[in-house]
Amino acid sequence: MRFPDLYLIIRQLFIDTYKTAINLFKIMVPVSIVVKLLEYFDLIKYIGKVLSPLMQCIGLPGEMGLVWASTMITNIYGGMLTYFTLQAHHQYSTAQITIMCALMLVAHTLPVELRVAQKAGVNLLVMFLVRFVFAFLSGFILNLIYTYTGTLQENAVLSVQLIKPITDPSLMGWLLGELERYGKITVYIFALISLMKILHVTGFINLLSNSLKPILGILGISKAVIPITVIGSTLGILYGGALIIKESEEKQLPKMEVFYAMTLMGLCHSLIEDSILMMSLGAHYTGVFIFRMTFAFLMTFLIVRVTKALPKKWCDKYLVN
């Protein structure tokens, strides 16, 4: 390859990274400020009180509503820190922690991730209902399983090695932390876009799509969005959504295929990292990994089948933008 060609390729990678990151930061920056204000004025606790009755329906004490509220409004780390406060005064079973973690894994960082889904072309309210309702349903099913089988009733064991320390809780500390996070996200986006281009050139994208087509095809996810769906499921909806936004700007992706991809990513993403975090709280791997993946596939399958039976005009009006 000649140097001018290499220069043009690298230049285009930086341009694509810049455009994708800017689109993402336009969503993240204002949302992060609103979330910080909610934390600063201690308003999240009121959402936790509203969720308290729901917690009791799935075998959890009412105070766990605060953990889920913190997770949904901030992120998984915010929920973990809230849990650490409760855990110092209460003892929970492995079953209860696994149920709580199932809620956290499906519905977290909603202000940012829902806006990303909306930017990708999915109705924001519908995606909120998908994340919230199916999170609760996953906890409800797990509670039934653990209650009737009597499994995982021993006390949960907390692994402190995986706790993310708060080095500076001040406003300046938060600002520096946000800038660091945006820097890391930019690097990840550059790496992902580079990887996607390499995989396209080498033909691995076609190989991956063809190998996963029988599985994801059953769910209704087309070949056009399979690679992005895999990235979102393994690394996170933030990155999968960012790539979908980029792809949508470059070529016309079918709206409902984007909806199905975002649905699966919404129910099951960051499979490795987030599962390990939840197990560090004392959750059992069968609930946060195996059950979560199985549940996400089944629910996506049902959503695809139901929506395909509905009129296309109705789906275009209410499910996608």
**99 compared with 242, residue with greater pLDDT:** 99
Phi and psi at residue 122, in whole multiples of 5°? -105, 140
In a domain, 272, yes or no: yes
pLDDT of residue 162: 47
List the end-to-end C-alpha distance of the chain, in Å, as a whole number.
42
Q: What is the pTM of this model?
A: 0.84
Q: Where are the alpha helices (H) located in the chain, listed in sequence order? A: 3-40, 44-57, 64-73, 76-87, 94-106, 110-120, 124-149, 171-202, 204-219, 226-235, 237-250, 255-267, 271-280, 285, 292-309, 312-318
pLDDT of residue 299: 94
Average pLDDT, the chain: 84
The model's pLDDT over 56-75, given as tens digits with 9 standing for 90+, comes to 999 999 989 999 999 999 88
In a domain, 265, yes or no: yes
> Which stretch of 43-52, 84-93, 237-246 has the lowest confidence by average pLDDT?
237-246
In a domain, 10, yes or no: no
pLDDT of residue 8: 81
The model's pLDDT over 246-274, given as tens digits with 9 standing for 90+, comes to 777 777 778 888 899 889 989 988 887 78
The model's pLDDT over 10-21, given as tens digits with 9 standing for 90+, comes to 888 888 888 888
Question: What is the C-alpha separation between 179 and 79, in angstroms, rounded?
Answer: 21
In a domain, 171, yes or no: no
Query: Is the pLDDT score of 4 beyond 60?
Result: no
Q: Which domain holds residue 46?
A: 18-156+179-318
In a domain, 164, yes or no: no
Question: What share of the chain in percent tops pLDDT 70?
Answer: 92
Q: Within a 13 Å sphere around the CA of 283, how many CA atoms are in the beta-carbon half?
A: 29
User: Could you give the number of structural domains in the chain?
Assistant: 1
Q: What's the rounded mean pLDDT across residues 238-242?
A: 74
In a domain, 124, yes or no: yes
Is there a contact between 134 and 301 (Cβ–Cβ < 8 Å)?
A: no
Q: Which tokens is 241 given?
A: 């959504």
The model's pLDDT over 105-119, given as tens digits with 9 standing for 90+, comes to 999 999 989 998 898
pLDDT of residue 191: 84
In a domain, 117, yes or no: yes
pLDDT of residue 164: 52
In a domain, 2, yes or no: no
Question: What is the C-alpha separation between 122 and 312, in angstroms, rounded?
Answer: 15
pLDDT band at 233 (very low <50, low <70, confident <90, very high): confident
The model's pLDDT over 141-186, given as tens digits with 9 standing for 90+, comes to 999 999 999 999 998 887 754 445 555 667 788 788 888 888 888 8
Place of tokens 């336009």: 26
Amino acid at 316: D
